[in-house]
Structure 1
Amino acid sequence: MKKRIEVVAAVIKKGDRYFCAQRKDYGELAKKWEFPGGKIEQGETHQEALIREIQEELNTKISISSFLITVNHEYESFDLIMHAYLCDIIEGSLSIMEHLDAKWLTLNEMNEYDFAAADLPIITELKYMKMI
């Protein structure tokens, strides 16, 4: 039986661009682009985990404005449950410490990047929200 991992992701928007980060060069998702976040630790709410992860990974304080989508995705070596939230920056400059690269991308520009499969439904949801 595959390992099941539950994570949270921050969808941070500035104008018509979203903050996206490139994963480090290891594991099944090496060098894939993603919305940053991380694992939920025991006893944490989704919101607490997301605030902690963004502080640890990007040295930035965020506030969570609303829930966006939950994605269930089966990777080859693990099953992922990812809860994505729309977030705002309170303080900090999104300094990358755990990623190879980061960019502010429009929804259309995201088509040119190799995103992790579980992040694709988030992009689809953002495009849908833009249309309504």
Structure 2
Amino acid sequence: MPKTPTFAPQLYIPNGVTNVDFYINAFGAVELRRFSNDDGSIHVSELSIDGAIFHLHEVTRNPASFSPERYNGTTTTIGLFVPDVDAFMNRAVAAGAEVLSPAQDYDYGYRQGDIKDPFGHVWMIEMVI
């Protein structure tokens, strides 16, 4: 159990998905644990990006499952701070992400860009400059 509060976003993926290698290839994520359904699809996958944990859940009929597919787009943007925005975004694009906003420097002291993963989730890749 963490000693300080930790966010762990719960992201929804379509039913029947068996492969989440995008996150491993694009973000260098490590799958910590997985609970699969009888057909091999992912019920829950817990991943970590340098200690930042997030979960992937399959979409169910539960109205609380906020999948991009159900809402015609994502319901939130996930901010991820990294040491090198450009390298990180290039790696994500090579793994299948779509650039929504190219990396650029902002007056408030951040370099950031937005990408969309293959499941429709938007990630703001950012760093302090």
- TM above 0.5, yes or no, is no
Q: Return the index of the structure with the highest Cα Rg.
A: 2
TM-score (norm 1): 0.27
With a CA cutoff of 8 Å and minimum separation of 6, indicate the structure with the bigger relative contact order: 1
TM-score (norm 2): 0.27
Query: Which structure dedicates a bigger proportion of its chain to helix?
Result: 1
